[in-house]
Each structure stands twice: as structure tokens, then as C-alpha cells.
Amino acid sequence: MTITCQEILKNHQPLWQEATVHPFLEGCKQGTITPEQFNTWLVQDYQFVVEFTRMLARILSVAPLHHFDVLLGGLIALKDELNWFQVKAAERNLSLDVAKQRTCEEYSQFLANLARTPYAVQATGLWAVELAYNQGWQLPGPMPEPYTEFADRWGNPGFTDYVKLLEQQADEMLSNASPEVQKEAEQTVITVAQFEKAFWQMAFNAT
């Protein structure tokens, strides 16, 4: 029996809900998030995106040729995203040259370890991370300034379409994967959800 990305989400809906609906995001919407909380998220997320870019490059190195177009589009977008983070940090007088906090370090190591898994698992993990960003910033609805730009970056329809393409690629690979690989892919989504929740909480706890 083949499992799909949507079936994985359905199997773990409460956990995925916690990964994409969090008081940090609600605080952005309500305007109650503090500068310390948001700045912690911004700096640590930049560090995460650096490692995520490396992960995507590793995935591209083992991807089938017909997946290249979507993945290369993601890499091009990440180039812009890293530059954008640098601009946002400068506007807030923040240094991005900081150590990763424990949650960010552990999440980054998880991304690195994905390189040792079958491509079907890597494709599923990539989709899960991007979906978490997409839904996390999209589900609260319109964000007030100064968070509108952040919500628009990951909640816009174009990014949603990109995530759907990643889902199609992951489902394609899962359809030909062994039960053991499918189980590993499902566990990867579970781990992504746990890390996403922890990442929001890390920033929310900042003082």
C-alpha cells in the first residue's frame, strides 16, 4: 500500500497543527510579539535557511533529472531569500553572525542527516519543511505591519504553488518506494513537525 504526503498529514494532524499554529505567529498577527522574540526568530531562521540551502543542494545532487526544474527554482529563490534576510537584519541593526541556539543547531543537523536517506525520504522532508513555512505564515490570515512582508514571502500563492509541486515530486517517489522507505518518510514529516513547533517556541521564549 502506497502512502501519500496528504495521508501522512492526515495521520498526524494534531502534531502538524502544533507545527503551523503557534502563539508566536498569533502574536505577530495581534501585534503583541516583542522585538526580542521576533529578532530571535529572524536571526536564527537565517542560520536555518543557510543550512536548508545546503540541504537542497544535496538533494539536487541525487534527484532525477525531471525534478531539476522545480528544485533549481527553489535554489534560485533561496539566493534571494538569504539576501533579503540580510537586508531585514540590517534594518533592525542585528548581527547575523551569531551562534545557533540549541533548537536551530539540532534542526540543522537533522537536515544534514537527510543526505543519508533515500531520495524519496529527502523529497518528502523538503516538502514538509516548505509546507510548514507556507502554512505557518498563511493560516493566521493577513498580518499587520511590520510583519506583512514576512507573511507575504511564505504565504503568497506562488510559494503555495511551489509547495504543491514539491508534494507531487514526493508522492511520485513514495509511490515506488518500499514500505520501509515510506515509513521512514512518514517519520521524517513527524520530526519536521516537532522541530517546527520547537523553533517557534524557541523564539517565543526569548526575553
pLDDT digits (tens, 9 = 90+) for 151-191: 999 999 999 999 999 999 999 999 999 999 999 999 999 99
Domains recognised in the chain with CATH numbers: 5-203 (1.20.910.10)
pTM for the full model? Answer: 0.96
- What secondary structure does DSSP assign to the chain, as a single string? ----HHHHHHHTHHHHHHHHS-HHHHHHHHT---HHHHHHHHHHHHHHHHHHHHHHHHHHHHS-GGGHHHHHHHHHHHHHHHHHHHHHHHHTT--S--PPPHHHHHHHHHHHHGGGS-HHHHHHHHHHHHHHHHHHHHTT-SPPTTSHHHHHHHHSHHHHHHHHHHHHHHHHHHHTS-HHHHHHHHHHHHHHHHHHHHHHHHHHT--
Q: Residues forming the annotated binding site? A: 45, 81, 130
Q: Among residues 51, 167, 186, 196, which one is catalytic?
A: 196
For this structure, is 26 an active site residue? no
Q: Residues forming the annotated binding site for substrate? A: 45, 81, 130
pLDDT digits (tens, 9 = 90+) for 69-121: 999 999 999 999 999 999 999 999 999 999 999 999 999 999 999 999 999 99
